Structure 1
């Protein structure tokens, strides 16, 4: 599978003048946990590879960005955005909403902007990896770049 020079995610990052490095790896469609497989394929700590998850908060779409070796705590996600209850979005709905395929969902360049929460542990690292908008494509950047581009709520939303 060929990797593009651009994706909707990289187009969005470029439009913001964001500083990032595109990193490709061999995507395994049979991996149980895509983020962990990405970290292993790139030879980096899974704690710095952040996965993009789509959820519903009181019925409305939201985006959660957490380390690949953690899960989203739905109560914490709801609290971070001032809602009552959150649940994971079904994969087909996430694909329709974002314009990306599961395994390649990026928080950057989604079809529609939705409230986003970045797990606060991202700020502990000089650089993190986030999906670049296609399976097998990651973008490496500083947590501050993520914050500047997405304007997310930064909060403790994960459980390991």
Structure 2
């Protein structure tokens, strides 16, 4: 069963980044299912009993050779063409997981948009703005944080854009 805790410990770079930015958040620590058929983000949704549109996965991409972070709901897929357009690039592709681990300092399944080794351009799907709170990785497997989408964007200097499949609304940038 999932355990939910509020914590102020500084265990991961992601949590340190949130604390340094003064962002309010709630910490969720849990165990993933023994068999994950749909990946970490959807398993987090199932284990915590939270709808997948509230769980956001962090994906590492390359846009014209630049490392770019995309944050999209677990319930959707990243639209690489839309991400390339948002990043003013000609093309985007998914980054090899081992390269993503090296660049971010996190392991696959625990990559957070917060506290990465270097500051990368980050795009959060605009659907996050419609939600009171979202969950993102807290910097390791089995650890997530719930926070406001605007708080996340401000903490990592991210932009909002339509980057998931199936959306047709106008994008907005946070600067």
| TM-score above 0.5 | yes
Match of 1:94 in 2: 100
1:25 to 9, 27, 30: 30
Aligned residue for 1:66, secondary structure, equals strand
Cα deviation, residue 150, structure 1: 1.5
Correspondences of 1:64-143 after superposition (within 5 Å): 64-143=70-149
Aligned residue for 2:139, secondary structure, equals coil
Q: TM-score, normalised by structure 2?
A: 0.86
Greater RCO (Cα-Cα under 8 Å, separation 6 or more): 1
Cα deviation, residue 25, structure 1: 1.5
Q: TM-score, normalised by structure 1?
A: 0.94
Aligned residue for 2:71, secondary structure, equals strand
Aligned residue for 2:140, secondary structure, equals coil
Does residue 50 (structure 1) correspond to residue 77 (structure 2)? The answer is no
List alignment gaps of at least 5 residues for structure 2: 1-6, 167-175
CA contact (8 A) 1:81 1:153 kept: no
Match of 1:12 in 2: 17
How many residue pairs get aligned? The number is 157
CA contact (8 A) 2:133 2:146 kept: yes
* Structure label with greater radius of gyration: 2
Match of 1:149 in 2: 155
Does residue 60 (structure 1) correspond to residue 72 (structure 2)? The answer is no
CA contact (8 A) 1:53 1:63 kept: yes
Runs of 4+ deviating beyond 3 Å: none
Aligned residue for 1:159, secondary structure, equals coil
Deviates most, 143-152 or 110-119? 143-152
